[in-house]
Amino acid sequence: MTTSRQPSKHISTDESSTETRVQRNQPLSVPAAEKAFLSADADFVAKVIHRLGVKIPVATDGRYLDLGEVGSGGMGQVRRAVDRSLQREVAIKRLDEDKILGPESLHRFIGEARVTGRLDHPNIVPIHELALDNNGQFYFSMKLVQGENLEDLLRQAGDDRLQADQLSKWLVVMLKVCDAIAFAHDRQVIHRDIKPSNIMVGSFGQVYIMDWGLSRVQSGSAKPAASQTSDDVTLLDFDVPGAVMGTPAYMAPEQVEGAHDRIDERTDVFALGATIYHIITGRPPFAGKNYYTLLMEALECQPMAPEAVVGTDRVPAELCRITAKAMSRLPEDRYPTVAALRDDVERLLRGVWHLPTETFTGGQDIVCEGQDGHCAYILSQGRCRVSKLLNGEQVELRQLGPGDVFGEMAIFSASTRTATVTALEDVEVHVVTREALSSGLSLETWAGRFVRVLADRFCEVEDRLRQAEAVLREHGLALPPTD
């Protein structure tokens, strides 16, 4: 499929699967010999394994105690079990017989286990064993991930997901997902199905990117791919030209086109951006009234801007910019790497977007000399004048512009304001309370104590200057204004 060609009307989809094929001429035909998988015995399966050139051990009977189903996916079901030999709970993924459509399905199942097993990263689920049971059924065991997927968590959070503390939490989750995907890319593996439902979040900060069944191992790199061994099953051979692989609601245009030769790291960057879009808006970027219109929306790649969905006052403008860049229609306009995307998200988290804001009109005093101070300010828009009462006159000391900070001495040392700050025009400021400053600067640490001592000493100097001014005024003298 190309941007100038309409998708074929022959669309075959299994709604339980993340893999969908769009044929140019007719639905996929499965040879009768391959359909024998549906009623295959162990001997037949063993012959097919031999034909594929893979070596799969036969499992020890009775090793796992089944504890029930956990969930199901495109190629099988996941069940909870106890590994009797190691006395630990694991997850077992089995290849369903009714979902085996020839060697391709088997290939992908084995490939998922092997590729995932070689991606040794804290945010990728470890694979323990790939084997064939005594009934000729394929399975692999892996770490049992206990938690909820990001899609469900966002749904439960509702509108509260955009509160500063909540949004920070989701973005920290995305940093960990970026770490995992960047690691996979370094091993030449493209995930191709990143979405909130494939991100598991545990109760204690664990984050895992799941479901590598559609991953593609890139070739032509000087660095060995994650799945290259002498008897290996790669995932390249079964990428049917024109087949749509992944979840269209989060797909990059080149993925919708089935242009597998154009798939690279930036395709996953797009899906990461689409996942952030879901975090912001509570929905995927592409919906569509039916599957055909969904494909067309993803192909055109013109989602409603996230700030237009939720309102500009509810989401940081910088986060919307990051999302838009990651989801650019052309790969060359996106972040070139996941690491570059991650860096921008991390910079956002270190910024001031989560602080409350206040606005002041021109001529309005924001802080007044001599008053108690309970917060500091970061000027984000407009200009202000700093002035001080000297010799009975209000003397301008300097002017402030966007990015400047004022009022910090009062909360560092719990003293009164030493100057007056007045808005010269309509201004917007971020408000920094002592609690927020303590959190950001760790005021209760040894470094924080040094900052407080310096602030106290500065205030002592200010007090001495005031006393000197008073003595001079008594004698009819005055201190010259200082810059």
Respond yes or no: is residue 193 known to be catalytic. yes
CA dist 263 to 149, 188, 254, Å?
Answer: 26, 12, 7
Cβ burial of 352 (10 Å; 0-12, 13-18, 19+) is middle
Among residues 193, 232, 237, 426, which one is catalytic?
Answer: 193
Please state, in angstroms and rounded to a whole number, the distance separating the CA atoms of residues 343 and 269: 13
Backbone phi, psi, residue 129, to 5°: -155, 140
Give 244's strand partners: 20
Please state, in angstroms and rounded to a whole number, the distance separating the CA atoms of residues 182 and 185: 5
Backbone phi, psi, residue 270, to 5°: -60, -45
User: Would you say 53 and 60 are in contact if contact means Cβ atoms under 8 Å apart?
Assistant: no
Give 142's strand partners: 91, 127
Instruction: Spell out the residues 6+ positions from residue 293 whose beta carbon is closer than 8 angstroms to its own.
Output: none
Tell me which residues are annotated as active site: 193
